Amino acid sequence: MANPLIVEAVDAEDLARKSALLIADAIHLRPDAALLLATGNSPMATYLELAEMHGRGTLDTSGVRPFQLDEYLDLGPDDPRSLAGWMRRSFTKPLGIPDERVTWLDVDGDVEEGCARYARAVRAAGGYDLAVLGLGPNGHLGFNEPPAAVDAPTRAIDLAPESLASNAVYWGDEVPRRAATAGMDLIMEARSVLVIVSGVHKQAILSRMLEGEPSPDCPASLLQLRDGVIVAADRAALGR
């Protein structure tokens, strides 16, 4: 099994800065990098750091190809809970990336066909150069809720109770209960993976991800089966 590279940060601010530098390095290395991008709290400060780099002229995003990680189902096109809208607000617009350069997980119509179309587009693009992910409270990556095997495809899924509770921070009693997610198969095929983890509440699941037996019951633990994984975490999450 492979050992991920651990990038330790002192606190959340240091974590955002170090994570942003890792993503910026990937873009500098490959200006047309295909980036899979999580929403949620974990990467938000990181994206703000990247936007500031872009604003200073030290990060050229003119060739970057973003890919949406997941999307809630059964929402209207203008619903503020849309993860596509969140991605626009937090990443693509601040970094000057137009919608037409983004591969969206479009599941407004036929969900099964939308998922299949997205997976075909990822593979036609050559796969992800870097997958930027958070770590779910039950070990999910994207909305690959456990159990999720290494070959789990892009698909619709019912959200687990842990995810519903976590998402209630954002949406209160109006948490969407179904979502579509990029599959574990696509994530496992990414050239590199960056998992951003912050806070003492993630300490137990991060330990399981890094030290537990790889298992579909903790999808993040399956990253032990591949190379090219970086875990950027603050000391609280690492228990230090």
Enumerate domains of the chain plus CATH numbers: 5-238 (3.40.50.1360)
- Known catalytic membership, residue 162: no
- Known catalytic membership, residue 217: no
DSSP 3-state of 167: helix
Catalytic residue (choose from 49, 71, 145, 185): 145
- Known catalytic membership, residue 70: yes
Catalytic residue (choose from 54, 140, 144, 167): 140
Catalytic residue (choose from 49, 54, 138, 234): 138
Sign of CA dihedral 160, 181, 84, 109: negative
Does the pTM surpass 0.95? The reply is: yes
Nearest CA to 197 among 212, 207, 211, 184?
Answer: 207
- Known catalytic membership, residue 140: yes
For the record, the structure tokens of 154 come out as: 């892009």
- The Cα 95–Cα 53 span in angstroms is 9
Tens-of-pLDDT digits for all 240 residues of the chain? 788 999 999 999 999 999 999 999 999 999 999 999 999 999 999 999 999 999 999 999 999 999 999 999 988 768 989 999 999 999 999 999 999 999 999 998 899 999 999 999 999 999 999 999 999 999 999 999 999 999 999 999 999 999 999 998 888 888 899 999 999 999 999 999 999 999 999 999 999 999 999 999 999 999 999 999 999 999 999 999
